[in-house]
Amino acid sequence: MRRVIGALLVATAFVLLLITGTVVSNLKETETANKKITVEEEKTEKQPIQTKDELNLYAQSAVLMDASTGRVLYGKNEELARPMASTTKIMTCIVALEYGNLSDEVTASQNAASQPKVHLGVYKGETFLLKDLLYSLMLESHNDAAMMIAEHVGGSMEGFAKMMNDKAKDLGCSNTYFITPNGLDAKEEKDGQVKEHSTTAADLARIMNYCIGQSPKKKEFLEITGTQNYSFQDLKRKQNFSCNNHNALLNSMNGAISGKTGFTGGAGYSYVGALKDDDRVFTIALLGCGWPPHKTYKWSDARKLFQYGLERFNYKDVFQETRFEDIYIKEGVPPSGRLEEPVMVSCGISDSEEKSLKMLLAEDEKVTVQTEIPRELKAPVTKGQMVGSVVYLLNGEVLKSYPVSLKEGANRLNAFWYAKTIIKNYLSMPGCKSIFSFY
């Protein structure tokens, strides 16, 4: 009987080696050079930069932006850095709101009191509430109020400028550099380079997007910039001050919710603003929009840009249900245990992902969907393992990417599995159980 058992074990080892070699050989023959499947893929080359100003804007640089995504809907030299005058103050305001307290008492320094017009007319030692100074800053654009705010919140003008630049960097504004809190034309040497107080139309709109939509202090920002008139006193109640909002669109254009004007000799007239229409929110920025006496050019350009957005762009749900092919698992264990059956596992987008993708699109804009998954994977694989993605693109720019993961797993074929399977098969043969039970 021992000889029978020994013969069976030798036969098992021989068969194991034979099957292993055969399966591996067959698996190699099934490999394919093409590792990925691309479904509904189209060439989506990025469109060339706008060279023709079809709106005939006065501004040297301009942008219309979807505030919810930051997508540029219309641009004219929107990435060219220029001085931005008092539109700077939207950053001054939001940094002060986030790092200061509205109830803070702020004292005017000699530096603040000496700021040029337009100014509140403070004197050294005069004290105010930070809240009142923010209305002075945003409604009347007072330069001394800006300096008082900066020195109080940042410790100095330079310290506050660093806070502004850090915030700009966090927001992805790579072509923006702040020197002053009030936007007066300025240059300074830093790191061996002469830098100018400047931004781009695109960066300025991005900052406005943040102020009205993402900042934890967006409610306070909108309340201040949306106020028409505001009155206050210094803390010793010696002087009364009255402010009027210089954003003309608040009264003249439906949906206008925020904005800031600006002018210096170097910057020309500038404007940054926001408009809301139901669930659509647009931001615009205008730089170099005329010089005296053309003070009204900015309003003409602003209306053109907002109207262009309102008439051309609407929300569309571009999400598409995608059909996924099962993935072949190389060297995987067949669920049935039969080696001749290929191991295929299913994949898809997680049920937790929102099956909706609303985008502001023009009628002639088309979103393309690119789905990439491998044709095969090598075992072992696990349920939930990410294996690909579904990417939505517009003009070559990624709008959203959905991860694709496996809905089931598969173990890997190995010598232990073969041995276990062979022994199991032997045990199922008539007479084998009695032989093993004898010993």
Q: How far is CA 421 from the centre of its chain?
A: 53
Q: How far is CA 98 from the centre of its chain?
A: 21
User: For helices 143-154 and 89-99, what crossing angle results, to 10°?
Assistant: 40
Q: How far is CA 267 from the centre of its chain?
A: 29
Enclosing H/E stretch for 346? none
Bridge partners (DSSP) of residue 32 are none
Phi, psi of 101 (to 5 degrees): -120, 135
The residues annotated as belonging to the active site are 86, 89, 141
Bridge partners (DSSP) of residue 204 are none
Q: What end-to-end distance do the CA atoms of the chain give, in Å?
A: 9
- Report whether 370 contacts 402 (CB < 8 A): no
Q: How far apart are CA 75 and CA 197, in angstroms?
A: 22
Q: How far apart are CA 241 and CA 142, in angstroms?
A: 12
260 in a known ligand binding site: yes
- Report whether 232 contacts 129 (CB < 8 A): yes
Cis peptide before 153, with omega less than 30 degrees from 0?
Answer: no
Beta carbons within 8 Å of 39's beta carbon, 6+ residues apart: 322, 323, 369, 370, 371
Locate 286 and state its tokens: 């205008």
What residues form the annotated binding site for substrate?
Answer: 260
